[in-house]
Structure 1
Amino acid sequence: MSDPTGSSPGAAAAARMVDTPAHVSGQDARRVAFAAFVGTALEWYDYFLFGTAAALVFNRLFFSTLDPTAATLAAFATFGVGFVARPVGAVVFGAVGDRIGRRPALLITVVMIGVATGLIGLLPDFAAIGVAAPALLVLLRLAQGVAVGGEWGGAVTLAVEHAPPDQRGRYAALPQLGSPVGTLMSSGAFALVLLLPDESFDSWGWRLPFLAAFPLLVIAFYIRRRVEESPVFDQMLAQESDRPKIPAGEVFTHAWGRLLVAIAAAFLGVGGFYVLTTFAISYGVDTLGLSRTLMVNATLVAAVVEIGVIVLFGRIADRLGPGRVTFWGGLSSAVLALPVFALLTTRSPVAVVLAISVGIAALSVAYAVTGALLAELFPARYRYSGVALAYNIAGALSGFLPFIATAMTSSIGDDPWVPATLLIAVSLVTAVGGFVGERMRVRDEVVVD
């Protein structure tokens, strides 16, 4: 029977690599981390656009034959489809990244999601083509999900494998900045088009943020194309002749215990974020009667706060360890969950902005170090696949949380403890993942010239 801690032939091969450390210059490490950040920011911009549009647009224009609650549920279900597709992308691009190279996989993913997002901006709505509109929307959301399934794991892996061993926390935090920057870009784009008259917004204004994906794709592809391949991967190619034919299969066979821990550690950063953005926007607008502009602007302020939290705790992880930071981040998010949703129900604009900002800041403590922790839970032989699978299985499990939270508030009531209960559960799962994960970390060496 396989060892769930990853003590397999692949892990042993990875251990042999320590004998001859990979070399990389400090300048290369910084350039790669920046390129990982730029590509990831585009990916999350594209992906988050869909979440905001699901709460504000798709329910009315693509599911217009349903009553308001059912339309919102349908829009969130479509939103969740992207999460189901993400593990597929993790398997496909994990195989590319672990067998052919980290760099080629990341070039494909950035093109794929940019094109899919731009095409959403060109889709006719239900009034124009009927049921084909939501069907095409689902297909493009699936394409987004597959691309993101391979993107984040590869970006983090590439950044970590170029980083000095004692600074992996701060380098792995740079791709994490793609999330708040992507939020700023997507929420900012929607905040601008929401200034349009309602008729203009519904007919063409909402499309502009999606169409902006095309020029952003050109920039991201150019930057990412200039990135060097991972020195750890190059070293692995030179030393190993038995690369896994199906890296994901090796993860499930030899490191399923590590995979479970990694999924738990990543759970809050994915699921909690969508509870406090996608669901919270819908909850504020449809249940509490708050303005769309207020809720979107609250996410903008929260994204700025998140940037500071990620930078700070990425550095703290280099001293304390990413698992310990994840543990305390999960506990803090659980403690603050009920106060956050209680503040929303006050309907005070200041309280609403404070609530979203505090909630996002708390979960970002764990999210800041997710990349560093997950990358050190898997040996280089199947690291891309392991990191991508863990993160995206967590996404698939938590992607329907906005749907579940909406269904709960609709059937049980709109008291703040209802969505807070979900957030507490997710936070505690991640706290456990961080506690266990700190004790399972593996390291490969990189020498910085």
Structure 2
Amino acid sequence: MSAHSHDPSAPSSPGQSPESPAAARGKPRKAALAAWIGSALEYYDFFIYGSAAALVFPRVFFDPDDPATATLISLATFGVAYAARPVGALILGHVGDRLGRRKIMVFTLILMGLSTFVIGCLPTYAQIGTAAPVLLVLMRVCQGLSAAGEQASANSMTLEHAPEHRRGYYTSFTLNGTQAGQILATLVFIPVAALPDEQLYTWGWRIPFLLSIAVSVVGYLIRRNLEETPVFEDASASDAVSKLPLADLLRDHWADVLRVVCGALIATVSTIFTVWALSYATSDAAGMDKSAMLWVGALANAVALITIPLWAKLSDRIGRKPVFLFGSLGSGAMVFAYLWAISTGSYPLVFLTGILFFGVVYSAANGIWPSLYGEMFPTRVRLSGMAIGTQIGFAVAGFAVSFAEQLSGGGEWLGVAVFTAVICAICSLAIATGRETHKVPTDRLGEKPHRGAPAPPNAAESVSA
């Protein structure tokens, strides 16, 4: 879906403020395209690991004589990347707020592509024993470090280039690209999963990982000439760049960091849908076909490509909070319907509930969090605030898969649904307590209104955190 450029000389729509000088100099279409393509390529790499962890790795990298334990540990390695993400956020957030967004966007894409390619080259458990899963975990950590800086840098880049009254729409391209990467990963894995077992578990599973070398090359060519954002350039020119972004962030914006951490737990919905539900559906307990379940994910993500920008446009009109809260609370309800449908073994029900759940309802929260979180922070600490807050929340979401596997006892879905719904309630409560920022000018974002002082322009409805 193409973005539309904004003419800064055009008159503002009724009720909208004129663009700030920085916003008028922005190049939203180019930034949105770079964010979309880069995120699609980056998360292709990230998501093929999830499919492999559920379907292949238990037999390739772990002891095949104990399949239940192998599956549990394999799903845990999926979460290892999420544990590494807060560490990456601390490092890459600091560098991005000190030196710029573009450098991080190039670095993360190269790191992700190379680590994923190496996974495709690793020897198996049968060849080198326990050293195989150790090497696998090491590469997964590298993937996590890369992902920690990818979305925060791409979101910051797009938000700071965007016209002020369309920040939600333009920043949604980062998540739209993430969904596209998930579709690509799933479509690549569908023919691989259909291979005879002998071919699948020897060489077939390696193909999606080896293709990532092309990902690195394409992503580098796209992002190397991307210009830095106008507001960051202005901050650099006026020496307003933070010397210690982390210290400034935790001193002045700790409440919003905590709010983002709790809000980012919404990613639990994605990991449960993408990894645990896939593992559950193809297990002996449900006995559904691997390829069919991969198609559920592909179609749900295809629908999300359409709904994400639509939800984002709506958030530009009515605000970020109502759209996010609908997606979060709705996902808490829909998870029951989807997992129940899997338990019935009915393919029509699974496709219907899966597409409605992940493609429509979850997309309301997923599509607008880049603008929602980014608008909580000023330019000088935006990348650090988004990276640290989201990655801590995402780390919990990553391990939700292995927790859900233990909670299910090998085949009971109800406890997993309750767990997911509770997480959604926590996300909703955290965001409900925050300010509404969709009308705040870009150069005023992150400002804390003082008691007795007038509200920022176009933010009369904003309330203090």
Q: TM-score, normalised by structure 1?
A: 0.91
- Preserved contact between residue 64 and residue 126 of structure 1 (Cα < 8 Å): yes
Q: Deviations over 1:207-261 (max 9, x none)?
A: 00011111122111101112110111001111235x3333123222221100111
Output the amino acid matched with 2:180: V
- Preserved contact between residue 23 and residue 442 of structure 2 (Cα < 8 Å): no
What corresponds to 1:229 in structure 2?
228
CA distance in 2, matches of 1:295, 1:149: 28
Q: CA deviation at 1:264?
A: 2.1
Quick one: which of 324, 332, 346 aligns to 1:348? Answer: 346
- Preserved contact between residue 329 and residue 431 of structure 1 (Cα < 8 Å): no
CA distance in 2, matches of 1:203, 1:309: 38
CA distance in 2, matches of 1:198, 1:65: 14
Q: CA deviation at 1:358?
A: 2.0
Q: Match of 2:434, SS?
A: helix
Residues 26-425 of structure 1: pairs in structure 2 closer than 5 A: 28-65=27-64, 67-241=66-240, 243-268=241-266, 270-286=267-283, 287-360=285-358, 361-410=360-409, 414-425=411-422
Deviates more, 1:399-408 or 1:65-74: 65-74
Output the amino acid matched with 2:199: S
Q: Match of 2:344, SS?
A: coil
Seen in structure 2, the aligned counterparts of structure 1 residues 311 and 186 have a Cα distance that, compared at 3 Å, is: same
CA distance in 2, matches of 1:237, 1:136: 41
CA distance in 1, matches of 2:251, 2:129: 45
CA distance in 2, matches of 1:146, 1:415: 33
- Preserved contact between residue 340 and residue 358 of structure 1 (Cα < 8 Å): no
Q: CA deviation at 1:88?
A: 1.1
CA distance in 2, matches of 1:70, 1:443: 52
Q: Match of 1:204, SS?
A: helix
Equivalent residue pairs, number: 424
Q: CA deviation at 1:80?
A: 0.7
Deviates more, 1:290-299 or 1:157-166: 290-299
Task: Give the structure, 1 or 2, with the largest relative contact order (CA under 8 Å, sep 6 or more).
Answer: 1
What corresponds to 2:457 in structure 1?
none
Q: CA deviation at 1:419?
A: 1.3
Q: 5+ unaligned residues in a row in structure 2: which ranges?
A: 1-17, 445-465
What corresponds to 1:10 in structure 2?
none
Q: CA deviation at 1:24?
A: 4.3
What corresponds to 1:12 in structure 2?
none
CA distance in 2, matches of 1:113, 1:246: 27
Q: Match of 1:369, SS?
A: helix
- Preserved contact between residue 323 and residue 436 of structure 1 (Cα < 8 Å): no
Q: Deviations over 1:297-350 (max 9, x none)?
A: 111111111112201101001001112211121111122221121111110111
Output the amino acid matched with 1:81: V
Percentage of matched positions with identical amino acids: 35
CA distance in 2, matches of 1:323, 1:387: 17
- Preserved contact between residue 262 and residue 437 of structure 1 (Cα < 8 Å): no
- Preserved contact between residue 20 and residue 442 of structure 2 (Cα < 8 Å): no
CA distance in 1, matches of 2:161, 2:141: 31
Q: CA deviation at 1:196?
A: 2.0
Q: 5+ unaligned residues in a row in structure 1: which ranges?
A: 1-17
CA distance in 1, matches of 2:73, 2:353: 27
Richer in helix (by share): 1
Q: Deviations over 1:412-438 (max 9, x none)?
A: x73432111122012112212332234
Seen in structure 2, the aligned counterparts of structure 1 residues 431 and 160 have a Cα distance that, compared at 3 Å, is: same
User: What's the C-alpha RMSD, in Å, of the aligned pairs?
Assistant: 1.8
Output the amino acid matched with 1:433: A
What corresponds to 2:423 in structure 1?
426
Output the amino acid matched with 1:291: D
Output the amino acid matched with 1:130: G
Q: CA deviation at 1:31?
A: 0.8
- Preserved contact between residue 36 and residue 178 of structure 2 (Cα < 8 Å): no
What corresponds to 1:13 in structure 2?
none
Q: CA deviation at 1:391?
A: 1.1
Seen in structure 2, the aligned counterparts of structure 1 residues 324 and 438 have a Cα distance that, compared at 3 Å, is: farther
CA distance in 1, matches of 2:417, 2:110: 37
Output the amino acid matched with 2:187: G
What corresponds to 1:15 in structure 2?
none
What corresponds to 2:13 in structure 1?
none
Q: Match of 2:155, SS?
A: helix
Seen in structure 2, the aligned counterparts of structure 1 residues 126 and 393 have a Cα distance that, compared at 3 Å, is: same
Q: TM-score, normalised by structure 2?
A: 0.88
Output the amino acid matched with 2:142: A
CA distance in 2, matches of 1:199, 1:415: 30
- Preserved contact between residue 325 and residue 434 of structure 1 (Cα < 8 Å): no
Q: Match of 1:345, SS?
A: helix
Q: Match of 1:105, SS?
A: helix
